[in-house]
Chain A
Amino acid sequence: MSHKVKDATIPHIPTGARISRWIGRNLIRIYAVFAFTYLFIPVAYTFAFSFNDSGKSNLIWKGFTFGNWQNPCGAPEVCTALVNSIKIGFLATLFSTILGTMIAFAIGRYSFKGRSTSNLMIFLPMATPEIVLGASLLSLFLVFKINPGFWPTVIAHVVFCVSFVVVTVKARIASLDPRLEQAAMDLYANERETFRRVTLPLVAPGIAAAALLAFSLSFDDYIITNFNSGTLKTFPEFVYASAARGIPAQANVIGSAMFFLALAIVITGQIVGRKRKVSA
């Protein structure tokens, strides 16, 4: 739609060029469709095979059934693993969002001695391969005779989530219009009120996005978890362990359900955000 308006404002382009530009524009749209198809092929495959009447090994299509969806915990261990992942994801999200948001405000709002060192400390975990993070944490736990398990996994997840939270929230803080806070101060709000009534609500979408990112990073993590979870099994570990002998279709059910759930949350968030923008 928008390109037609644009063309109308640039009348000196000859017809031939205009046609080739039109093709050029739609070429990239066609490309986008292909790229999205590529991104979604395995998602669609996972979803389709969640309806497979497969028995134990979900490798070959054997017939359509709703059975797996009606009984998602039917395969042994799959729901225990899911609950572990959700618990760990929730706690890791909570801690990393709090720590990360505080750091983001410190770095984003103040200039102080040691600022660049703090920046480096945030960047380093992102520049360190997961396997090094996981392995080094495991050796630390072993030195202190702490057994791998639930809490070591939560700690490990917080380590790699914090940096992503800082980056996301900091970007939001940087994009704030300083005049809004000045206006609040002009209207006799003190620093605390300004923060609570103006700054924080404006940064909130960034914090929400960061929390969502942290949860999905934690929920989907395999490498660091594998080093620090000991005998505890998360959902990705369950999938990895059963990959060799065939993954039960129930895992596909859970993967697909998570997909639709997360999609619903994100889209709802977008709609709410847009409504708030309109009403404001």
Chain B
Amino acid sequence: MRKISTPYLLLLPGVAFLFTFFILPIINLAQTSTQTPVGGGDTGEFEQTLRFSNYLDAFLENKEQFGRSFVYATIATLLALAIAYPLAYAIALKGGKLKNFMLILVIAPFFTSFLLRTVAWKQILGEEGFVVPTLRTIGIISDSTTLTSTSFAVVMGMTYNFLPFMTLPLYASIDRIDPRTLEASGDLYANGFTTFRRVTLPLSMPGVVAGTLLTFIPAAGDYVNAAILGSPNTKMIGNVIESRYLKIVDYPTAAALSFTLMIVILILVTVYVRKAGTEELV
């Protein structure tokens, strides 16, 4: 018989590590979020006053950026799903001998720093790039329209950067589908579209759920795409948290915003996972 203590011994170092450097920081973050500056001044020192209205103030002051974060992240997630699903489908069911090679291709762009790639998009879509002059010549956009520094560029950048996170789980769940179920559907006179809608899509739902989560969560907290591809009018909540923490040194507001972001995402994730009915995410 295996000893009862074995799993606990295996868990101990990792769980102790995560407790110290993940759970404790979150608790500390919650504590910081209700603090106020000592003496109301700009000394950079804060004391605990349990001021819960920090949350309300922080939210009201930044509700635009909050809204933008969730709208951008939702659009980017849907776009990534639309782009990645056919790709994952192609790799899993039509990949043949090239399957593994194509999978490597999906993750390969990762190896060039994502910042370099984001900056590359900025230059490709920028005034000196080849896209804008071409579109102007064809007449799709007017001479005064730019592509960078717009919400379009930010959403496009997020869609691009998180695409592999969407593709891989989709691939994993489509690849797991027993091909005989698809054949059976065809034998029962379902056409290609019906087979997809009634068999392939439902069976790939775990991948859809995992992929949308792996895209939505980092996208909602992202500020790099907005900083590089956007303008002050496309600021997301991540940009606000970053500047409150590292530039303005307003820890309570930054903590309240971080905590709100985390809670909202956790609630959305829980509701979504419940509705989608897959609990085997981990």
Q: State the CA gap A9–B21 with chains docked (Å).
A: 58
Decide: A263 and B104 in contact? CB cutoff 8 A: yes
Per-residue CB proximity of B218-253 to A under 8 Å, as 1/0?
101111100110000000001001100110000100
Chain-B contact segment, one of A30-38, A68-76, A178-186, A199-207: A30-38
Chain-A contact segment, one of B55-63, B140-148, B257-265: B257-265
Within 8 A of B (CB), among A92-112: 98-100, 102-103, 105-107, 109-110, 112
How many A-B Cβ pairs are below 8 Å?
257
Q: Does B123 contact A (CB under 8 A)?
A: yes
Q: Which residues of B contact A118 (CB under 8 A)?
A: 11, 15
Residues A258 and B113 in contact in the complex (CB < 8 Å), given A105-B10, A159-B21, A222-B224: yes
Decide: A162 and B14 in contact? CB cutoff 8 A: yes
Instruction: Give the most central of B14, B22, B104, B227: most A CB within 10 Å.
Output: B14
Q: Does A19 contact B (CB under 8 A)?
A: no
Residues A235 and B111 in contact in the complex (CB < 8 Å), given A38-B83, A109-B7, A133-B22: no
Q: Which residues of B contact A125 (CB under 8 A)?
A: 18, 22
Q: Does A131 contact B (CB under 8 A)?
A: yes
Q: Which residues of A contact B220 (CB under 8 A)?
A: 129
Instruction: Give the most central of A38, A123, A132, A140: most B CB within 10 Å.
Output: A132
Decide: B114 and A191 in contact? CB cutoff 8 A: no
Q: Which residues of B contact A84 (CB under 8 A)?
A: none
Q: State the CA gap A257–B238 with chains docked (Å).
A: 31
Q: State the CA gap A125–B15 with chains docked (Å).
A: 12
Decide: B245 and A135 in contact? CB cutoff 8 A: yes
Q: Which residues of B contact A133 (CB under 8 A)?
A: 22, 25
Decide: A255 and B221 in contact? CB cutoff 8 A: no
Decide: A127 and B266 in contact? CB cutoff 8 A: yes
Could you say which of B14, B105, B262 contacts A102, with CB atoms under 8 Å apart?
Answer: B14
Could you tell me how many residues of chain B have their Cβ less than 8 Å away from some Cβ of chain A?
A: 89
| B262 to chain A: closest residue by CB | A132
Q: Which residues of B contact A247 (CB under 8 A)?
A: 116, 119
Leading 10 A-B pairs by shortest Cβ distance = A129-B221, A136-B25, A42-B120, A110-B7, A106-B10, A262-B111, A99-B14, A42-B117, A32-B90, A136-B29
Query: Residues of A at under 8 Å CB distance from B?
Result: 1-2, 10, 21, 24-25, 28-29, 31-32, 35-36, 38-43, 45-46, 49, 59-60, 98-100, 102-103, 105-107, 109-110, 112, 115, 118-119, 121-133, 135-140, 143, 155-156, 158-159, 162, 166-167, 170, 191, 216, 219-220, 222-223, 226-227, 235-236, 239-240, 243, 247, 251-252, 255-256, 258-259, 261-263, 266-267, 270
| Beyond A42-B124, A112-B8, A243-B115, 11 additional pairs, beta carbon < 8 A | A1-B96, A35-B86, A39-B105, A46-B116, A103-B10, A122-B282, A127-B269, A131-B258, A139-B29, A222-B114, A261-B111
